[in-house]
Amino acid sequence: MSLFCCPICKESLHINSSGYHCANGHCFDRAAAGYTHLLPANRKHSKQPGDDQAMVAARSAFLEKGYYAPLRETLCNRICGDLADISAPAILDSGCGEGYYTAGIYQTLVQLGRQVQLAGIDISKFAVRRAAKRVPEGEFAVASVYHLPIKENCIHALTNIFSPLCVEEFRRVLQPGGYFYYVVPSAQHLWEMKEVLYDSPYPNPVRTEQYEGFQWLTAIPVREQISLTSPEDIMALFGMTPYAWKTPKAGIQRLSERGSLTTQIGFDIHVYLRH
């Protein structure tokens, strides 16, 4: 049985050799890369929603160099500790991107002897394609965080890492007692990069949100410094940030001319418990 449900009628999906089907006869093919498409046409806001192929490739190459490995390691260790008493956890990575963090979570749990059922969704087919290749044991789908194709109360742990937030959907799919991990940038994240981009940079807003149906447990800080030694890595990092959409051309030019950059990275992993 799949963790996915039919995006049309909400019935459970069953897996066969070619893809997924529900009791009402709705069928969804599985691509050769191992993912399926569970985003109905009337919920698509563009022909190719989400990150494009070039953006996904650049981000994947950057992450593979280990710059954000401290975040992945800290997140994986926390999830393993929280799920220590669950032998067969069901995990959902909402906004999984190219699967860098998804793979880390899966591999860490499997190494501890867990029988993991894992699903990942993202609005970008280019991202989901890479994630499915990275974790062939998991289930991946092009889908919207605002209409998760996931059955109610079936997930033990849900991660949301720099992705759109839909607390109502997260509450619906998590089991009571399940965990929600929400990763956000810290106040000084990429400060030295912002000093190059802007004449008057300002810290990222930092706050702890309370969400209905959840108990906030803690915020785990991850603080490191990274040194980028090529213009390609610098611009790949820039392209992963919201600054890529709203930086004046002069700032982008200054950054593109840098041959190296040392900057802070900072993240807060907010941990919530589903009531």
What CATH code is carried by the domain that includes residue 88?
Answer: 3.40.50.150
CA distance 161 to 268: 10
Q: Tell me how far apart the alpha carbons of residues 228 and 235 are, in angstroms, rounded to a whole number.
A: 10
Percentage of the chain with pLDDT > 90? 89
Residue 21 lies in a domain: no
Per-residue pLDDT of 20-62, as tens digits, reads: 999 999 999 999 999 999 998 766 555 566 788 888 988 999 9
pLDDT in the model for residue 47: 58
- Mean pLDDT throughout 249-263? 97
User: What pLDDT is recorded for position 58?
Assistant: 85
Total structural domains within the chain? 1
The candidate with the shortest Cα–Cα distance to 57, out of 236, 261, 270, 259, is 236
Residue 25's CB is within 10 A of a number of other CB atoms, namely: 10
pLDDT of 160 higher than 90: yes
15's enclosing H/E stretch is strand 13-15
**Does 67 or 16 have the greater pLDDT score?**
67
DSSP 3-state of 181: strand
In a domain, 191, yes or no: yes
Return the bridge partners of 160, or none: 182
The pTM of the full predicted model, rounded to 2 decimals, is 0.96
Look at residue 1 in the predicted model and tell me its pLDDT: 81
Note the pLDDT tens digit of each residue in 181-228: 999 999 999 999 999 999 999 999 999 999 999 999 999 999 999 999
The answer to whether residue 31 is domain-embedded is no
- Per DSSP, 208 falls in state P
pLDDT of residue 54: 83
DSSP labels, 43-95: G-SSSS-SS-HHHHHHHHHHHHTTTTHHHHHHHHHHHHHHTTT-SS-EEEEET
Average pLDDT over residues 154-180: 97
Is 32 within a domain?
no
Name which of 246, 252, 241 is nearest 197 in CA terms: 252
In the chain, pLDDT over 70 holds for what percent of residues?
97
In the sheet that 27-29 helps form, which strands lie side by side, from edge to edge?
A: 13-15, 19-22, 27-29
Q: Quick one: residue 223, left, alpha or beta (phi over 0 = left, psi -120 to 50 = alpha)?
A: beta
Where in the sequence is the domain holding 59, given as residue range(s)? 37-274
| C-beta separation of 225 from 264 below 8 A | yes
Counting every residue written for the chain, the total comes to 275
Q: Could you tell me which residue, 50 or 173, shows the higher pLDDT? A: 173
